[in-house]
Amino acid sequence: MQGKINSVFSSRQVKLHTTLKPVTPFGGLVSLIEFFNTLKLGEVLGRLMPLRYSSPNAIAPEQTLFALIISIIAGAQRLAHTDWLRADRALHALLGIERFPGTDTVRNLLKRFTQPVIEAFWRPLWRWLLLQGWARPADGWSLDLDSTVFQRSGHQEGALRGYNPSRPGRHTHHPLLAVLAEAPLVLHGWLRSGNAGSARGVVPFLQEALALMPDDWKLRTVRADSGFFDQALLDFLEEHSLPYIIVARMTRTLRASAAATKDWTPVDEHYSTASLHLKLHGWSKERRFVVIRELEREDKSAVGRRLIEVPGYTYRVFVTNRDEDPVELWRDYNQRACIEQRIEELKNDLAADGFCMKQFYATEAAFLSVLFAFNLLSLYQQAIGTRSEKHYQRPATLRSQVFLGGAILGNRARKPVLYIAQSWGGAGKHKPLIDKVLVWQKRTSPKLPPDHSPPDDNELKNAA
């Protein structure tokens, strides 16, 4: 079939023709696909997948799950968007998938994820991913806890009325996240019902998160906002000798103590700090509190709570078991702002809140797929040498600057060849990235040789 169109800004006509050659807009995924090959991701997914189909014509469940993950990376924001890649035969050849699953196939797979299946599959898979080549900070990881709100329309399981600042009264899910700031890496994630408070289940959640961490990893500190100002969490952290700094909820006792404080240490003309020890009502012990007092100004919005007893100032109070200077603790806590950026990337770049089904655990499996895709992209950036605090690229930036690239699948000497358009950088743009992936050294135990093979599925399940 032929046709023609008229150009917008000239009188030139452009003819339309059909090509039989497979064309893909995602030619830039070649280095990421080679990275997956280096990790042996397809093999691991197949080993750990507890679901099996009896029909000989069924697409393997690990291939269906991988199709969902690659669709998320390519920009899908709903389950229906997985059909974007169904006609991309050039990408299918790169992935080695003969039949790319459609939306119904992906949906039916997610429906088979129950809580036991999630525990049997996702936890060992997470443990395996953490055993790969993550560059560890010398003084340990900073673990940030936070929750967010996923808007829901309909009557999905677990979608209930709860805290919803943008649309009060509407149904939501309220997931809980634990993020290692230096990677960045989502260590653990739970999908929860919309009426769950921020700290609901945080102790068993943190127990699971710590169980996922490799034995030779250590935590430098745990940071959280006032939603996690909970006696049970503080007791747990102290029992396990974990340093923490958590924003305190301004109870009546704390407000009175902050207002009555006289021993202030000036930081500059606007800020002062103080430290005090209190045993709040219902607590079993006395704990240290750090108070940051800020002078209110017309040219800057002050962060903190105003106290009627002390006009002109705002106060922020932290509870901690660390003994550093208040200014150092305050600056440390301010680094926690990166978790807000990670949540924004998960929601805006990878549509973590977009893959929703009626069944709760099917939705949680889709949510975990998004978190897993995020972690893979973070580790990929480390492999190609761009991931650092200064050069970290969010998923949407990777998609636009690296993964997007027009390409045609052809043949040369009876071998498939992907021709990446020169206008998108050509092969010269992506060959250096592939070379970096191939020489990337994955993490191994110092007790093992560098060529030690990855653990099999039984070892992973026992470790988890």
In the block, tokens 């209190």 appear at 278
User: Is 221 a domain residue?
Assistant: no
Please state the rounded mean pLDDT for residues 51-61.
Answer: 93
User: Is 148 a domain residue?
Assistant: no
> Which pairs from 217-220 meet CB under 8 Å and 24+ separation?
217/130, 217/136, 217/140, 217/141, 218/140, 218/141, 219/140, 219/141, 219/142, 219/143, 219/243, 220/137, 220/139, 220/140, 220/141, 220/142
For residue 90 the two structure tokens come to 């050039």
User: Is 391 a domain residue?
Assistant: yes
- The amino acid at residue 370 is V
Say which range, 55-69, 74-88, 115-129, 289-303, has the weakest mean pLDDT. Answer: 289-303
Please state the rounded mean pLDDT for residues 327-334.
Answer: 95
Give the model's pLDDT for residue 463: 46
* Residues 277, 362 share a domain: no
User: Is 282 a domain residue?
Assistant: yes
* pLDDT band, residue 2 (cuts 50/70/90): confident
Give the model's pLDDT for residue 230: 93
Residue 395 contacts residue 148 (beta carbons within 8 Å): no
User: Is 158 a domain residue?
Assistant: no
User: Is 80 a domain residue?
Assistant: yes
Strand order in 160-161's β-sheet? 150-151, 171-173, 160-161
Distance CA 313, CA 70 (A): 50
* Residues 312, 273 share a domain: yes
**% of the chain exceeding 70 in pLDDT:** 93
Structural domain harbouring 409: 24-116+354-463
- The amino acid at residue 97 is I
Give the model's pLDDT for residue 448: 44
* Residues 325, 238 share a domain: yes
pLDDT of 440 over the 90 cut: no
* Residues 112, 47 share a domain: yes
Among 334, 368, 402, the domain-final residue is 334
Count of positions (residues) in the chain: 464
Alpha-carbon 62 to chain mean position: 21
Distance CA 299, CA 136 (A): 40
Number of domains within the chain: 2
Adjacent-strand bridge partners of 305: 315
Alpha-carbon 98 to chain mean position: 30
User: Is 346 a domain residue?
Assistant: no
* Residues 425, 379 share a domain: yes
Distance CA 409, CA 320 (A): 58
* Residues 107, 48 share a domain: yes
* Residues 318, 234 share a domain: yes
Distance CA 177, CA 182 (A): 15
* Residues 364, 322 share a domain: no
pLDDT tens readout for residues 250-307: 999 999 999 999 999 999 988 999 999 999 988 989 999 999 999 988 777 767 778 8
CA atoms within 13 A on the CB side of 24: 28
Q: What is the mean pLDDT of the chain?
A: 90
Give the model's pLDDT for residue 364: 97
User: Is 363 a domain residue?
Assistant: yes
Give the model's pLDDT for residue 451: 45
What is the 3-class SS of the chain, one letter each residue? CCEEEECCCCCCEEEECCCCCCEECEHHHHHHHHHHHHHCHHHHHHHHCCCCCCCCCCCCHHHHHHHHHHHHHHCCCCHHHHHHHCCCHHHHHHHCCCCCCCHHHHHHHHHCCCHHHHHHHHHHHHHHHHCCCCCCCCCCEEEEEEECCEECCCCCCCCEECCCCCCCCCEEECCEEEEECCCCEEEEEECCECCCCCCCCHHHHHHHHHHHCCCCCCEEEEEECHHHCCHHHHHHHHHCCCCEEEECCCCHHHHHHHHHCCCCEECCCCEEEEEEEECCCCCCCCEEEEEEEEECECCECCCCEEECCEEEEEEEEEEECCCCCHHHHHHHHHCCHHHHHHHHHHHHHCCCCCCCCCCHHHHHHHHHHHHHHHHHHHHHHHHHCCCCCCCCCCHHHHHHHHHCECEEEEEECCEEEEEECHHHCHHHHHHHHHHHHHHCCCCCCCCCCCCCCCCCHHHHHHHC
Give the model's pLDDT for residue 165: 79
**% of the chain exceeding 90 in pLDDT:** 77
pLDDT tens readout for residues 382-412: 999 864 445 789 999 999 999 999 999 999 9
Residues 6+ apart with CB under 8 A from 438: 34, 38
- The amino acid at residue 94 is L
* Residues 403, 312 share a domain: no
Among 334, 368, 389, the domain-final residue is 334
Give the model's pLDDT for residue 350: 97
* Residues 385, 315 share a domain: no
Please state the rounded mean pLDDT for residues 326-334.
Answer: 95
* Residues 371, 457 share a domain: yes
* pLDDT band, residue 452 (cuts 50/70/90): very low
